[in-house]
Amino acid sequence: MLTLAAFTLLLAGACALSANTVTTMMQDLKVSSKLPPPCCSPPTWQAELVDLKSPYQVDSLIAVDYSKNMEGVITTSRATGQVIGRSLIDYSKHLIYEAVYVPDMAPTCKKVPFNMPLARCMNDTTITDLVYLGSSTLGMKGAGLNYDGYSFKAADNEISIALVPIPNSGNLCYPVIESLKNKQQDSIYIFLQAESKVNDPTIFDVPAPCV
């Protein structure tokens, strides 16, 4: 079993991968005809989030609460450590609130319709065209993270994802890498320092400029 420290080190190392390397990693999975039991995310979780295709030098914290049907993100500047953005997706209202904070300017807010469903488990009915890509290891053979790869569609989004099972949790798992494509977006996300809790529940509050 991996210790939490080993888990963190492996994910931190993954952050140094290029977008092309991550794409190759998803393509080189050992294809298997045997679909593993569908795993689910914890009821609440949070992680540091890095978009490998983004040109911006920012860090983000993502948190999800399935009972609230919400996802919150706080984005900070790596240079200053200041919060430059907050977003809240309310999946029940099909709405995303996006607040932007620029120094010496009043904060701004956008409210945008959002039709992507919040899927917790790989057998959710909101997931279509599910394909099991196979399994492999992230990191050193015999000492890395074993993961399962999937591709699927959700609304107008094409998604490929690598999921790592949580030891001794039954069927719980975490995302470590996700490729997300739609008409407006083409991103590859790395999830770091994942936890099965949300440290600050105010991340699910509507951003102040949007109230």
89 vs 111: CA distance, rounded Å:
10
H-helix or E-strand containing 100?
A: strand 95-100
For 23-77, how does the pLDDT look when each residue is reduced to its tens digit (9 = 90+)?
A: 555 555 555 556 788 899 999 999 999 999 999 999 999 999 999 999 999 999 9
Residue (of 63, 61, 65, 73) closest to 43 by Cα position: 65
For 91-144, how does the pLDDT look when each residue is reduced to its tens digit (9 = 90+)?
A: 999 999 999 999 999 999 999 999 889 999 999 999 999 999 999 998 888 888
175 vs 122: CA distance, rounded Å:
11
100 vs 110: CA distance, rounded Å:
9
pTM of the model: 0.83
Ranges of each domain in the chain: 4-210
For the beta carbon of residue 183, count every other beta carbon within 10 angstroms: 7
pLDDT confidence tier of residue 11, bands split at 50, 70 and 90? very low
- Mean pLDDT across the stretch 4-32? 46
For the beta carbon of residue 46, count every other beta carbon within 10 angstroms: 22
**Looking at the predicted structure, is the pLDDT value of residue 2 above 50?**
no
For 157-200, how does the pLDDT look when each residue is reduced to its tens digit (9 = 90+)?
A: 999 999 999 989 989 999 999 999 999 899 999 999 999 999 99
Class of domain 4-210: mainly beta
Provide the pLDDT for residue 92. 97
- Mean pLDDT across the stretch 200-210? 97
Provide the pLDDT for residue 139. 86
Q: What are residue 108's DSSP bridge partners? A: 100
Bin 109: left if φ > 0, else alpha if -120 < ψ < 50, else beta: beta
> Collapsing DSSP states into helix, strand and coil, what is residue 73?
strand
DSSP single-letter state for residue 189: E
Provide the pLDDT for residue 195. 95
Asked if residue 150 lies in contact with residue 161, where contact means CB atoms within 8 angstroms, the answer is yes
